[in-house]
Structure formats: structure tokens, C-alpha cells
Amino acid sequence: MTEPCPVLLEQRYRAVLRLLPASYRAEREDEMVAAFMEMSGEVPDERGPRPRWGEIASVVALAVRVRLGGAGAEPRFVAWGEAVRLLALLGVGFQALVSLYSLLSHGLSTLLVAPPGARQVALTLVDCAWVAAYVAVMRGHVRPAKAAALVGGGSSLYALATGLPVELLGWSEGTAALIVVTTLLALLVGFHRDARPAPRPWDRVVPPLALAALPLALELPLVALESAMPGPEAEPLLWVAFWLSPDGLAIVAVLVAGAIALARRRSPSVLLALATGGMLLAAYRLPVGLPLEFNQPLWVTGVVQCAMLAVMVSLLLVAGVRALPAARQVSA
């Protein structure tokens, strides 16, 4: 007696393959189903056959790669993949600069005031794994970059979670953690096996790290002026100080880069990556706009920064989405 054809298993394979983009599935679905069915052998429907977890995981990984510009992806997905990878580079670079800034700040504090605590020094040194991640990915070494970023990201998240008592953790810590997690995810999924970065020369890798000293160079004169001026007279300095921190300078960088990208009509990938970075920075600055949390100079500065970012992000999103290649039409 002939066993019934394994229709159920085929249907379930096709259901799993719906994770893939329609354009990719239209070209390869039958071939992939045939390969899966051949590996599974003939299993009657009465046994309730299902795709194996390893097969499902492979389809999920393929779906992510294709949607982020992997082999066989349509131009629209290629653009999205480039945007995610650029966001990863921006995020890793920002975290590397912040970690170097913290290291320089602790060194300066040791010389001028008092050495920081051992725990703070240890976390700062581990945070410098972000620098290794930045150098590795810029030089085209993806796996070491991902490993170093996981170390640096873990240290950053631990510092955020334990830096204050639980009852004092708030929006700022949550959004800072969101920036770290977004950077890690963009790096881990964006640089897949079909998207290897081209190695950058050392003269394009090392000089940007010198920007870590910029906030200190700008803040030191303010600190000196503030200490030399009476309290009320030093208040105008607060209006400037919030623009000179690492995240304040990052906001300025996004605004300037966004304006240049819009004026020069850069690729949608650049526009969308800058828009995403701007949204994350705006979310981080948002608590400053809440009354009673900060004094007036910082409150007003935060409101202005969020408003400027909101306008820039809106322009970048509209321009970026409009510039995306059209989705490939799939005939029914």
C-alpha cells in the first residue's frame, strides 16, 4: 500500500519560507521546498511532520540577510542594509569616542583633583573595548569587531544598570541603554556574511579618535571661567555647556551632517542612518524638556536641541524614504 504524499510537510515548509521577501521567494521557493523535502524524506501526514528547528533558524537568518542586502536582494533591501551598516559604524564610533573621553576625563581628574574609584576605572577600561571594535570594523575585521563590541556593550549596560540605585533609574538610563543595544544589533545583523566591509586605510581610522579630546578642550575653559566668576554671573556658561558634552557635540554633528546630506542629495542609506541616529539622540535628550527636572538653562537648551533634531529627522526620513528604490513587483 502506497503511503500518502507528504502534503502537510510541504505546506509547513512553504509557511516558514513566507519569512522571506516576496520577490526572493517568487524566484526560489519551489527550489528551496524541493531541497527541504529531499532532506526530510517521505513522512506521511499522519505523523504530523514539521520543519526542524535548524531549518527554521536557517530561513530566519536568510530572511535577515536578504532584507539587509544579502545575495539576491533587490535594490530596496540593499539600500536598507547599507543604512543599517552605516548606523552601526556611527554607533560604534560614538561609543568609542565616549569611552576615550571618559578615560581622558579620569586621567585629568587624577592629575588635577583626585583619582577616581577602582570600580569606575575598571569599567572605563573595559568600555574601551568599543575602541577596539571601531578599529576592527573600520579595518574590515568583522568578527573581532563584534566580539569587542559585545564586551564594550556589556560593560556599558552594566554601568548604566548599577550606577544608580534602582529607584533612581529613569528615562535617561533607559534611552542610553537603547543606544547601546541598537548599536550592537546593527553591528551584529548588518555585517552578515554577504556584506563584508572594505578595509579603510589607517589614515582614515585613527584621526577620528582624536575627537575624543574635543569635549575636554572645550569644557576646560568653561570650568576655569565658572570657578573664577561669582555664581549668578556664571549662569550664561550653563547655556553653552550642554552643547559641549559628547552627546551635545553628537547632536551638532547630526544636524550638520544631515544638512549636508540633504543639500548634496546623498543616498537614501545615508539619510536614513542619520535620521535613526538623530531619533536616538532626541530620545536621550527628551527628559531635559521635562519641567522640574533641570534648571532653566539646561531645560531650554534641551528643548531647543530636541526641536532641531525633530525637524532634521523629519526631513531626513521623508527624503530617505522617497529616495529608496521602488519595491520589485511580484506577479500573483
As a whole number of angstroms, the distance between CA 281 and CA 251 comes to 7
| The one-letter amino acid at 54 | G
pLDDT of res. 39 = 82
User: Would you state the pLDDT for residue 291?
Assistant: 58
**Spatial separation of the C-alpha atoms in residues 127 and 50, rounded to whole Å:** 44
Q: Are 34 and 13 in contact (CB under 8 A)?
A: no
Residue pointed to by grid coordinates 524566484: 27
Q: What's residue 194's pLDDT?
A: 84
Q: pLDDT per residue over 218-227, tens digit each? A: 777 766 666 6
Choice between 217 and 254, residue whose per-residue pLDDT is larger: 254
**What pLDDT, on the 0 to 100 scale, is given for residue 318?**
96
Which cell numbers in the block locate residue 228?
Answer: 573664577
Position 57 confidence tier, pLDDT thresholds 50, 70, 90:
very high
Q: At residue 289, does pLDDT exceed 60?
A: no
- Residue pair 172/287 in contact by the 8 Å Cβ criterion: yes
Question: So what's the pLDDT on residue 273?
Answer: 97
Most distant pair of Cα atoms in the chain: their distance: 99
Tens digit of each residue's pLDDT (9 = 90 or more) over 156-197: 999 998 887 777 778 888 999 999 999 999 999 999 988 888
| Residue 301 or 237, more confident | 301
Higher pLDDT, 152 or 236: 152
Cell of 152: 564594550
What would the mean pLDDT of 200-210 be, rounded to a whole number? Answer: 89
Q: What is the pLDDT of residue 176?
A: 93
pLDDT digits (tens, 9 = 90+) for 25-43: 888 888 888 888 888 777 7
Other C-beta atoms closer than 10 Å to the C-beta of 257 total: 19
Give me the pLDDT at residue 302, please.
84
The whole-number pLDDT of residue 236 equals 67
Residue with cell 570594523: 137
pLDDT confidence bin for 143, thresholds 50/70/90 = very high
Q: How far is CA 286 from the centre of its chain?
A: 18
Q: Which residues of 205-231 are buried (b: 16+ CB within 10 A; e: fewer)?
A: beeeeebbeebbebbeeeeeeeeeeee
Query: How far is residue 187's CA from residue 153's CA, in Å, rounded to a whole number?
Result: 11
User: Does position 68 have pLDDT exceeding 50, yes or no?
Assistant: yes
Confidence check: pLDDT of 1 > 50: no
Which residue in 329, 328, 319, 330 sits closest to 83, CA to CA? 319
pTM of structure:
0.87
CB 135 within 8 A of CB 142: no
- pLDDT tens sequence across 77-126: 999 999 999 999 999 999 999 999 888 887 776 666 666 777 787 888 89
> Could you write out the three-class secondary structure of the chain?
CCCCCCHHHHHHHHHHHCCCCHHHHHHHHHHHHHHHHHHHCCCCHHHCCCCCHHHHHHHHHHHHHHHCCCCCCCHHHHHHHHHHHHHHHHHHHHHHHHHHHHHHHHHHHHHHCCCCCHHHHHHHHHHCHHHHHHHHHHCCCHHHHHHHHHHHHHHHHHHHHHCCCHHHCCHHHHHHHHHHHHHHHHHHHHCCCCCCCCCCCHHHHCHHHHHHHHHHHHHHHHHHHHHHCCCHHHHHHHHHHHHHCHHHHHHHHHHHHHHHHHHCCCCHHHHHHHHHHHHHHHHHHHHHHCCCCCCHHHHHHHHHHHHHHHHHHHHHHHHHHHHCCCCCCCCC
pLDDT reported for residue 242: 80
- Please say if the pLDDT value at position 2 is more than 60: no
Higher per-residue confidence, 332 vs 310: 310
Answer yes or no: are the C-beta atoms of 85 and 197 closer than 8 Å. Answer: yes
Where on the phi/psi map is residue 295: left (φ > 0), alpha (ψ -120 to 50), or beta? beta
Number of neighbours of residue 263 by Cβ within 10 angstroms: 8
Q: What is the structure's pLDDT at 51?
A: 85
